[in-house]
C-alpha cells in the first residue's frame, strides 16, 4: 500500500507593513496619540487607524466634563466605550504603554511597522522599546519644526481636500482637525498649531498624522518597493 505523503505545512503569511507614529512622547500628563498609516499598492488613499490614550484623572467619572483637568469638556469614558481611546490608570502616560500597543497590533493583526516616527521630546525609552521589538532602523526621530513638517502639513491638507485620507470617521480625529490651524514662520514654512492657542483645542491626532506623513516622506521609495507599489 502506498504511503500517504505528509502534507506540507502552510506557508506563514507575510505581515502587512505600515508606518506608525506616536505623539507626544515622554511621560504625558493628559493626552497621547498613536497613529498607524497603511498604504495599499496602486491605491492613492491613506488608511489610518488612530488610538488615543487618556489619563484616569482627565477622563474623570464620565458623568461630568466640568473639570480643571478636562478643559475641553469631552466625555472620554464614552469615547473609550466606542473603542476610540484607552484610559490609563495613572496620572501620566508612560512610553511603554504606547510601545506595547504597537506590539499588540502586530501580534493580533500581523501588521508590522516599517518605520515608527516619533516626536523627539524625551523619547529615548520609547525608541529603545520599538527598536527591541522591531529592529534598530524602525524608530525614526521627527523634528517638530516648520522646516521638517512643512511638506507633510501641506500634503495632509491636499489629501483631506481630495478625500484621500480614510481615518475611519473617528470622532476624536474630526474634533482634532477642527481645532487645527496653520502656523507660518518667517521663511514661509508651515506646521499645524492650535486655533487661538486655547489649551482645550487638542490637536494630538493632527500632529500624529503629520508625523506619519513625515516618516513616509523619508522612506517612501523603500516602503513602496516593500509593499509592491
Q: What is the pLDDT of residue 12?
A: 41
Which 8-state DSSP code applies to residue 27? S
Q: How far apart are CA 183 and CA 6, in angstroms?
A: 65
Extract the residue ranges of the chain whose pLDDT is less than 70. Answer: 1-17, 19-31, 61-67, 122, 229
Q: 151-176, pLDDT tens digit by residue? A: 999 999 999 999 999 999 999 999 99
- Residue 73: which residues within 8 A CB-CB, separation 6 or more? 65, 66, 200
30 alpha-carbon distance from chain centroid = 16
Q: What is the pLDDT of residue 7?
A: 43
CA distance to 14, 43, 88, per residue, from 229 (Å)? 16, 9, 38
pTM summary value: 0.85
CB 205 within 8 A of CB 33: yes
Which 8-state DSSP code applies to residue 28? B
Q: How far apart are CA 115 and CA 64, in angstroms?
A: 39
Q: Which of these, 121, 137, 98, lies nearest to 219 by C-alpha position?
A: 137
Amino acid at each position: 500500500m502506498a504511503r500517504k505523503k505528509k502534507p506540507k505545512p502552510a506557508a506563514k503569511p507575510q505581515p502587512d507593513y505600515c508606518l506608525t507614529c506616536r505623539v507626544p512622547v515622554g511621560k504625558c500628563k493628559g493626552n497621547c496619540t498613536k497613529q498607524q498609516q497603511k498604504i495599499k499598492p496602486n491605491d492613492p488613499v491613506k488608511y489610518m487607524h488612530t488610538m488615543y490614550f487618556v489619563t484616569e484623572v482627565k477622563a474623570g467619572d464620565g458623568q461630568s466634563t466640568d473639570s480643571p483637568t478636562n478643559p475641553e469638556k469631552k466625555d472620554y469614558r464614552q469615547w473609550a466605550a466606542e473603542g476610540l481611546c484607552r484610559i490609563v490608570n495613572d496620572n501620566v502616560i508612560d512610553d511603554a504603554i504606547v510601545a506595547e500597543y504597537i506590539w499588540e497590533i502586530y501580534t493580533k493583526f500581523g501588521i508590522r511597522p516599517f518605520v515608527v516616527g516619533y516626536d523627539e521630546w524625551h523619547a529615548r525609552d520609547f525608541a529603545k522599546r520599538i527598536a527591541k521589538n522591531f529592529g534598530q532602523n524602525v524608530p525614526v526621530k521627527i523634528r517638530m519644526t516648520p522646516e521638517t513638517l512643512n511638506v507633510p502639513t501641506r500634503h495632509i491638507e491636499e489629501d483631506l481636500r481630495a478625500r484621500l485620507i480614510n481615518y475611519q470617521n473617528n470622532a476624536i480625529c474630526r474634533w482634532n482637525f477642527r481645532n487645527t490651524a496653520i502656523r507660518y514662520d518667517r521663511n514661509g514654512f508651515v506646521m499645524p498649531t492650535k486655533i487661538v492657542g486655547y489649551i482645550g483645542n487638542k490637536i494630538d491626532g493632527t500632529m500624529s498624522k503629520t508625523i506619519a506623513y513625515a516618516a513616509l516622506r523619508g522612506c517612501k521609495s523603500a516602503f513602496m518597493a516593500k509593499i509592491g507599489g
